Amino acid sequence: METERIGFLGTRFSGTDGVSLEAIKWAEVLRRQNHKLFWYGGRLDKPDHLSYCAPEAHFQHPEVQWINERIWGRTKRAPIVSRRIRDLSQYLKETIWDFVREYDISLLIVENALTIPMNLPLGVAIAEFLLESEVPAIAHHHDFYWERSRFMVNAVSDYLEMAFPPREQELHHVVINQNAKDNLAWRKGVSSHLIPNVLDFEKPPPESDPYAKDLRRELGLEQDDIVFLQPTRVVPRKGIEHSIQLLSLMENPKCKLVISHESGDEGYEYEYMLRGLAKRSGVDLHFVSSKVGTQRNVNDKGENSYNLWDLYPLADFVTYPSLYEGFGNAFLEAVYFKIPMLVNRYDIFMRDIEPKGFQVVTMDGFVTPDVAERVSRLIENDEARREVAEHNYQIARRYYSYKVLQQKLDFLIHTKKGETP
């Protein structure tokens, strides 16, 4: 296969959000095929010589926030709002041109920026760029705006129709679940490729090493604590209150709930509610995002920071009570590290994942004493834990491995370039 110079384009490629993590996996597979990779976004943690950072591309940039406050939850927009959307999208389009020229990009992969309008002007800029340029592009869609109630009432239906996603004939669409594939065809009249989220199941998870030997103590945990890990961001759709309810029903003071990711993407009110609920329920709750990121580091004070892969080996059980997920990165990660889990049967899990035959404790919208009892029995039975873990690992290896992703990306790039696979 001819080597491509591939540009990843999105609002951010930084931190532990699902889009950033999945982009890293695509990048790893593409790098194995000797493609050259470059990054464009409003917040980046990539090497400078491979990056183009445009701060206005991030959804938390002040200008983007100013626009967002005036277009969501209302049905009319003022002329000045229209003007500032156009001005910012024009500026961002120029930065995309600069990025493509600077790194001689031959193929663009747009990560969720044409899918959910966290930064509306960026989506408009990308859509116009694709119309004006001859650069082939793949849009990797994680969660569409019509899947989120916060975007249902808006004053930008014209822009949503134009750019989220656009109907540009030369743009190839990739979705991560069957519901998205069906809805994209119904709403936009465009076909798409289904490529689920993946992990490198051909390679076993890394073993603990001396760097992480003090992590349990640094997180305020005792050696005999039973660690329940909630490996998600702190946003309402993750259903973290159900994890607190689970531990409350178990009535075991040695059970501790650890939440790995950060708050803030949708405000901090949800975190404040969870802290109060945990205190009233007698649940020991640990927010650890200040110590856990995408990579290991030592700060100026000599304090270690860790990555998510350091955290999973500490876990005895994973809680995943999400109300909605585009796919389920945390589900695959728990399977990869061979940890049993509780899953709320969200739509995509029921349609795309559950039929594969995974063995997990499930709930249907709420935690019952029976659910808590099933979790307790699994934690106490080491042999059952091992059997479930190995069973789930082998299923994931078949359906959600890097090998599967590589085959699909090879086909997609050949097709996008007008070649015969």
pLDDT at position 296, please? 78
Evaluate whether 66 touches 84 at the Cβ level (below 8 Å): yes
DSSP three-state, residue 343: strand
pLDDT at position 214, please? 81
Residue 203 lies in a domain: no
Range of the domain at 194: 5-198+402-416
Domain identity same for 188 and 157? yes
Residue 291 lies in a domain: yes
Tens digit of each residue's pLDDT (9 = 90 or more) over 233-270: 898 989 999 999 999 999 999 999 999 887 766 778 99
Number of domains forming the structure of the chain: 2
Domain identity same for 64 and 191? yes
Domain identity same for 231 and 158? no
pLDDT at position 216, please? 87
The CA distances from residue 155 to 82, 122, 161, 360, in Å, are: 10, 17, 12, 42
pLDDT at position 1, please? 59
Q: Count CA atoms within 13 Å of residue 218 on its CB side.
A: 17
Residue 372 lies in a domain: yes
Reference 212, options 333, 284, 318, 295; nearest CA is 295
pLDDT at position 288, please? 86
pLDDT at position 421, please? 46
Q: Which residues contact 263 (CB under 8 A, 6 or more apart)?
A: 233, 234, 235, 270, 271, 287, 289
pLDDT at position 186, please? 96
pLDDT at position 134, please? 87
DSSP state, 265?
Answer: B
Tens digit of each residue's pLDDT (9 = 90 or more) over 353-403: 999 999 999 999 999 999 999 999 999 999 999 999 999 999 999 999 999
Q: For residue 79, say if its preceding peptide bond is cis, omega within 30 degrees of 0.
A: no
pLDDT at position 417, please? 59
Residue 421 lies in a domain: no
Q: Which residues of the chain have pLDDT under 50?
A: 420-421
Reference 114, options 36, 42, 70, 168; nearest CA is 168
CATH (domain of 224): 3.40.50.2000
Residue 302 lies in a domain: yes
Domain identity same for 194 and 235? no
Measure the CA–CA gap between 178 and 180, rounded to whole angstroms.
5
Edge-to-edge, what's the strand order for the sheet holding 304-307? 292-293, 304-307, 297-298
Residue 143 lies in a domain: yes
The CA distances from residue 33 to 2, 37, 203, 405, in Å, are: 9, 11, 18, 12
Residue 204 lies in a domain: no
Residue 205 lies in a domain: no
